[in-house]
A = this chain, B = another copy of it.
Amino acid sequence: MTKQDKILIVGAGLCGSLLALRLAQRGYKIEVYESRPDLRKVDISAGRSINLALSDRGLKSLRLAGVEEQAKALCIPMYGRLIHDIEGNTFASNYSGRTGEYINSVSRQDLNALLLDEAEKHENVNIHFNTKCTRIDIENTVAHFKSYKTDEEFSVNPDIIFGADGAGSILRKSYELERKFLFSYSQDYLTHGYKELEIPADKLGNHQISKDHLHIWPRGEYMLIALPNLDGSFTVTLFLSYEEGKFNFENLTTEEEVTHFFETQFPDALALIPNIKDEFFNNPTGALGTVKCSPWMYKNKTLIIGDAAHAIVPFYGQGMNASFEDVAVFDGVLERFEDDWEQIFKTYQQERKKDTDAIADLAVDNYYEMRDHVANPLFKQKRKLEMDLEEKFPESYYSKYSMVTFNEDIGYNEAMKKGRAQDKALLNLIADAEVSTSENMSAQELEIVLNKVNHETKEILTEDKIAGLK
């Protein structure tokens, strides 16, 4: 079942390596070029987020490639958020009222290594590390490279090129700069950047705070989050404005200022981060940006996929999941159209773009939700009610978060539309005291709430539709 077309993939990150694995399983001859060293041999985590959230959409795609169980072995389940207030009190907010619905903290490096190992088991896959793609001539389907080892420059002329080369994609830049067609493109930065810190394991190698949660210290203008690692440590991320507000990356320039900031804003976290001063000043400050663009393909020859086509901010924990889902959606289209690449690329974008646009917007929404709303009383009442509804009616109630995170059978766009309407319905019903939010409601009382929420959600969707004259 060897295929004729020679495929070149730029990038052996999470998306590129899963794509290589899946296309190899379909019998294509694959050459993968990666600018970084082989992460199975060198630690290259610096400056990129160390652990990531893996959830159902990502798992579905890993399952398609036969590596779900191996991936799961690398995972730490997180069942909800544990929110830390400024006095050090915590309260938990589950991700779902159903049992068995949780997200997973996973090491980027471990998961990527697994995918590279699996891809390389196929003799029709070659992965070249330390080889930088410098330019792609999209008209002639020629990719130019430079080897970091030998300094040699060379070019490759395959049948198909995939750009799985992340947010700074060279293939996407070729689309932009070669001006062969009208290329719609946006890069949108948040006013905040991020910096990674560490809560180490205790002396016995155990986690110092609950490893069953994603920890959040929401403070409105800034926040801290922490995800557990298998070695007992937590990777902590500070999200802070570059230049606005009382505290920002620009004005926190001395150890005293940094200590004062953490002492007053995150005292309980500070106690757990021994190397705060070193880490704050030595770790890079990362930017938080969203990239959207269209079209993703040029003729029947090149396609951008994963972050290269749709980089998103990390606040929904969906970046990797969306990129993995790209591979699954692409695989489905490939199945339907065989080797008609023009049709495949076109159909893939038609089916997929509305969903990646939606998760990009949802991720920005969650930035405000995490740093601010999670501490808002109305929001807390809503989440509590949603957990009760999911627990009592596991087959019929799904929060927006559940639709996005645990319902891989509906697209992000549908989840966003339905979920936003449902959130609006719930928040307004609670604000107008039209539904009860008391503790320990009976099944009957909850059913009344469910019916009201469903009715209002439907109304909202209908009214929006009429307003859009659709």
Question: Which residues of A pack against B, CB within 8 Å?
Answer: 182-189, 242, 287, 289, 292, 372-373, 376, 378-379, 420, 423-424, 427-428, 431, 463-464, 466-467, 469
A428 and B378 in contact, given A187-B184, A287-B182 (Cβ under 8 angstroms): no
In Å, the complex CA distance between A183 and B469 comes to: 36
A428 and B463 in contact, given A373-B469, A378-B469, A469-B378 (Cβ under 8 angstroms): yes
A467 and B189 in contact, given A182-B289, A289-B182 (Cβ under 8 angstroms): no
A185 and B182 in contact, given A466-B428, A466-B431 (Cβ under 8 angstroms): no
In Å, the complex CA distance between A187 and B469 comes to: 26
CB-based contact A467/B424 at 8 Å: yes
What residues of chain B lie closer than 8 Å to A373, measured between beta carbons? 469
Cβ-closest 5 pairs across A and B: A186-B186, A424-B467, A182-B189, A184-B188, A431-B466
What residues of chain B lie closer than 8 Å to A463, measured between beta carbons? 424, 428
Partner of A379, one of B424, B431, B469: B469
A-B contact pairs, 24 of them (CB 8 A): A182-B189, A182-B242, A182-B287, A182-B289, A183-B187, A184-B186, A184-B187, A184-B289, A185-B186, A185-B187, A373-B469, A378-B466, A378-B469, A420-B467, A423-B467, A424-B463, A424-B464, A424-B466, A424-B467, A427-B466, A427-B469, A428-B466, A428-B467, A431-B466
In Å, the complex CA distance between A114 and B103 comes to: 64
Name the residue on B nearest A421 (C-beta). B467
In Å, the complex CA distance between A188 and B183 comes to: 8
How distant is A256 from chain B, measured CB to nearest CB, in Å?
27
CB-based contact A188/B186 at 8 Å: yes
A427 and B376 in contact, given A182-B189, A186-B185 (Cβ under 8 angstroms): no
CB-based contact B467/A427 at 8 Å: yes
How distant is A129 from chain B, measured CB to nearest CB, in Å?
27
In Å, the complex CA distance between A187 and B424 comes to: 31
CB-based contact A376/B469 at 8 Å: yes
Q: Of A182, A420, A427, which is in contact with the most chain B CB atoms at under 10 Å from its CB?
A: A182
Q: Of A188, A378, A469, which is in contact with the most chain B CB atoms at under 10 Å from its CB?
A: A469
What residues of chain B lie closer than 8 Å to A376, measured between beta carbons? 469
How distant is A361 from chain B, measured CB to nearest CB, in Å?
14
What residues of chain B lie closer than 8 Å to A378, measured between beta carbons? 466, 469
